[in-house]
Structure formats: structure tokens, C-alpha cells
A and B are shown apart, each in its own frame.
Chain A
Amino acid sequence: MSRTRMVIGSSGGLLMLFGAFRLFTEVSTRNLLFLALWLAGAVAIHDGVLAPVVVGIGAALRRIPARARRFVQGALIAGGLVTVIALPLIHRENSQPKVKAVLQQDFTANVAILLTIVAGVAVLLYLVRVVSGGQAASATNDRPSDDHASSSE
């Protein structure tokens, strides 16, 4: 193991130990148990629910012809990422006194606007590809000669 890796790794280990030590000294045992539950729950929800669902959606998308599929995939990635941030906002909408000027937007409508934009751009890019005779870029098993030639967008 190189010197660089030793230095980075051991400083990381020390920071972890410091953080864990301070957590144990500053937070009550009961709350540490809840934190442990959150930490385990976060991994369980991600690895056990979210990631398999995404893999499943990816598998289902294989029914779509390859040329269109890439635009559907792109739109789902961009739209999905926006939705992850929007969901807690929607949940917390109008939860606070009005004077705080917080969370007073109709986030459901706002995220609908954003998703429409994402979908619109994807459709537009797909149409451009179709019109410009996207034969060269349509899916084949030939790999592009380099990453500039893949030009899927």
C-alpha cells in the first residue's frame, strides 16, 4: 500500500474514531440506539427497496426499442432525481406558520412542471435524433470508437 493511501486512510480512520467517540459522549444511549436504527434503516431502504426497484424498472425498459429507450432512461434518471428532493417538500408543504415564508409553494404542481420539462426535452431530443436519421447512433453492439462518438444526447 502506497504512502499516499496510508496517509489518506489513516486520517480517515482517525476522523471516524473522533466522530464516533464524540457521538458516544454527547448523545444519550437511547438516542444512539435510534440513530443506529436510522443508519441501518437507511441502508435497508436503499439496498432492499429503492435499488431493486430501480433495477426492476431498468429491466422492464428493455421492452422499449433501443433507440427510444435511451431517452426514456435519461428522462427517468433526471426526473427521478428531481422527485427525490421534491417528495419531502411536498410532505412538508404548509406545515409552518405563514410568516416564516417557508414551504408555501404548491410543490406538487411545481414538480409536475419540472417533470414536464424533463419529458419535453427528452421527446424533443428523440425527435431530433429520428429526424436527423439516427441510424449511426441507434443501438448496435458496435462500441463507439471513443466517448465523444457515443453522442446519445
Chain B
Amino acid sequence: MVPGTSTPTRPRFWPRFASPVRSTALTARLGRVLGIMFGICFVTGLLSHYQYQPWSWLPEPATPVWGYRITQGLHVATGTAAIPLLLVKLWSVFPKLFQWPVVKGARHGLERLSVALLVSSGLVELFTGLFNSLNWYPWPWDFVPVHRFLAYVLIGSILLHIAVKLPDIKYGLNTKLALGDVLTEKSWQENPDAYSNNDNTHVAPPAPEGLSRRGVLLATGAGVGLVVATSVGQTVTPLAPIGLLATRQAKKGPQGVPVNRTADQAKVRGLALAPGYTLQVTGPAPFTLTLAEVEALATHEKSFPISCVEGWSVGARWQGVRLIDLVERAGGSADCRVRVVSLEPKGSYRHSYVDGPQVAEALLATHLNGDRLHIEHGYPLRLIAPDRAGVLNTKWLARVEIS
């Protein structure tokens, strides 16, 4: 912030920016990457929401088995990477906050309001998302609906922002980084260095004394790259050894798999370990299986990853009873909608529905990675299905209902 040329009407204390590092050419490049991140994050977020509330006529597919692993891994990785990127993007346009006059008219006022909404919804959406993956909820509202609908506000305000700034974006991306006009608090109409006043005689801006614009991009890339490389190990298993910022470490979980809801949190330990355990299957021809009978049927093996909405995932080998075998024995078929219910006395995810192609593929697992299922992973019996959000693979099963 150094004294620049003053506009007569501006108060003396009004901040002035003269650093030649900031430029529309720099901001447009940052914005392009950030826009792609937000786009991926929004679409994968919608796909994740669909896992939880699919339309009955379009059930979740069963292939590829790693579908949700990829989409949700991308959701959390792009959301995390977008935090540092957004901060640099905001730094690059910080002088714009000090436009003078603050509001030039209704249209300009609306534009500024929409930018305020963009910045605030962006910061809140990204940070609350990160905090959610840290099991941290320092707010009173229910995370899911606010995260979901604020995402529409955010993506909408991004599109509006792109529409408003399209000429600047085009100019910025079509101009060499070192040659782009200097971005200050002054609007282009008052800025003799601005592109709109450019012609062939336009004098390029001075090079920054310190870090160049390209240097800013490289340093930002290095910072964001470090964050991504050291955090995605929680889902990109080969990068787990360098996961210095990875929240989950699969190898520290029982049987090499992390846990989201523990047996104690679900208040299910006594029920799951009770000696008289039975599995009830309801339908046209209902029946009940003892634990020994369930274990005798548990001969099928599948390799399905378990992928959590919080962004961690890990491949695993499961052994168990095929869901379709139980469904058919109870008088149902692969076309049935199946509800599996947990021993869990209460909780939003004490039951889940298996629909469409997943019915034929799902397993009621007794074994994980070669050993009897750990109580934390749903002993005595849990659902595991391909391409399915982790929490929908209901644990500590009590009942299978066919409709």
C-alpha cells in the first residue's frame, strides 16, 4: 500500500495499492483453476447427495465398484485444495474491495453484493466442509442441508460472477502474465494502464521488485500441491506414506479399515455380542437365521472398497452371505427393494435401502480382510455393496426386509 494518484473525491485515508504483482492476467489464471475445482466439487457433491436420496426409478449403479471412491475422494480433495486457492484468488483482487466510490449505482451495488455473497458462501462452504471431515461442528445447524443448498448459492454466484467478468476473464487469459495491466483499487475507466485503454502503444507495467506474477503462481502451486499430495493419502493409498496432513490413516483402524461410527457411539456393543443373536428376514416367506446358520452360509468373497463421505476410502476383501440368496429364499427377487436394519437403537443411519443393480451384488459380510468382522466394523453382520457411500453399508444387522 503506497500513495498513488489520488482521485479528488476520495478521502485521504482511503487505501491505495500500487504493487504491480496483482493483475487481471494473474487473477484470471487463478480463477480458471479455482473455477474448475469448484465445478468438480459441486458435481461430485451432487453425486454424493444422490447416494443418500436416489430417485426410485434410477437406482444407484453397482459398477464401477470404486465409483463413489473416486467421486467422493475428488469432492474432498478439490474442496480442500480450493481453500488455499480461494485465499490467493481473494488476495489477488483485494484492492477491488476499496473501489471509490464504494457504490456507483444500483447495478454496481448489486454486483458488489453478489461478490460479497460469493466470497462469504465460498469461505463458509469450504471451511465447514473441511471441518466436517474433521468431525468438528462448531455451529448449531444440521450440516447436510446447509452444505447442500449453500453449494447452489455458491455455484450460482460463481456463474453470475463469470458472466459479469467475462470480458476481464477473456482479457486476462489472452494476455501474457508479465504484460497484463496492474490491478489496483481504481476501476479500469480511471486506470490509464488498463486493458480497455490499451492500444499498440500501451506501455507494459513495471516488473515487480520482489516475486514476479509467475512466481506467485509457482508458489501457490507449490503450497496447494503440498496440501493435496500430503492429504489425499487417505484415499489414494499409494500416497498414504507421505500423508502428513491426511486426517485418516487406514492402517491404524481395526483390520486396516477406519471407522466412522463406533460401537459405543451407536450403543450397540451389548446387543451385537448377545449370545442369542438372530437375523430376521421378512418378506413373502419370512425366516430367521441363527448366528451359526449365517456363518455357515458366509462363503462368498468380494473385493469392495469402503468409501466415506468424509473423503477417506480403502480397498478391502469381504466374505459373507449374498444378499440376493436371502432375498430369493424369502420369496423376493433381484427386482425387490430391500431395507436392512441395524441393531442400533437410534441414529439416522440405522437402516438403509438396497435397490436395483446393488441387490444382486451386495454381501452381508461376516469377514473383513480374512478375519471375523471386528465389532467396530459391524460384528456379527454388516452390509457391504459396491459403489456405495460408507455409512449406507449398515453395520450390526438385525433384519432384512423385502418389499
Which A residues are closer than 8 A to B by beta carbons?
2, 4-6, 8-9, 11-20, 22-23, 26-28, 30-31, 34-35, 38-40, 42-43, 46-47, 50-51, 54-55, 58-59, 61-62, 66, 69-70, 73-75, 77-82, 84-86, 88-89, 91-92, 95-105, 107, 110-111, 113-114, 117-118, 121, 139-144, 146-147, 149-153
If over half of A's interface residues share one DSSP class (helix, strand or loop), that class is named, otherwise mixed; here it is helix
Is B364 engaged at the interface, CB distance under 8 Å to the other chain? no
Supposing A5-B163, A142-B207, A146-B179 touch, asked if A81 and B223 sit within 8 A by C-beta, the answer is yes
Of A59, A114, A146, which one neighbours B178 at CB under 8 angstroms? A146
Q: Which of A40, A84, A88 contacts B84 (CB 8 A)?
A: A84
Q: Which residues of B contact A34 (CB under 8 A)?
A: 139-141
Q: Shortest Cβ distance from B27 into chain A, in angstroms?
A: 15
The reply to whether A101 and B214 contact each other, CB–CB distance below 8 Å, is no
**For the complex, would chain B's binding face be called helix, strand, loop or mixed by DSSP majority?**
helix
Query: Given A4-B166, A19-B150, A77-B223, are A102 and B209 neighbors across the interface (CB < 8 Å)?
Result: no
In the complex, which residues of chain A have a beta carbon less than 8 angstroms from the beta carbon of B385? Answer: none
**When the two chains form their complex, are residues A81 and B227 in contact, meaning their CB atoms are under 8 A apart?**
yes
Residues of A within 8 Å of B19, CB to CB, are 58
Which single residue of chain A is at the shortest CB-CB distance from B180? A147
B 136-157 to A, binary, CB cutoff 8 A, 1 in contact else 0:
1001111001101111111111
- Is B134 located at the chain interface by the 8 A CB criterion? yes
Asked if residues B204 and A143 are in contact (CB atoms below 8 Å), the reply is yes
CA distance A16 to B151 in the complex (A): 9
Contact pick for B141, options A31, A104, A118, CB 8 Å = A31
Counting contact residues on chain B (CB < 8 A from A), the size range is 35 or more
Across the interface, name the chain B residue whose C-beta is closest to A37.
B139
- Contact, CB under 8 Å: B134 / A89: yes
Question: What's the nearest-Cβ distance from chain A to residue B169, in Å?
Answer: 11
Cβ of B100 to closest chain A Cβ, rounded Å: 16
Check A144–B152 contact: CB distance below 8 A: no
A99→B357 CA distance, assembly (Å): 32
**Roughly how many angstroms separate A118 CA and B128 CA in the complex, as a whole number?**
27
Q: Are B244 and A47 in contact (CB under 8 A)?
A: no
**A105 pairs with B139, CB closer than 8 A:** no
Query: B250–A73 contact, CB under 8 A?
Result: no
Q: Do B210 and A70 touch across chains, with their CB atoms under 8 A apart?
A: yes
> How many Å lie between the Cα of A92 and that of B132 in the bound state?
11
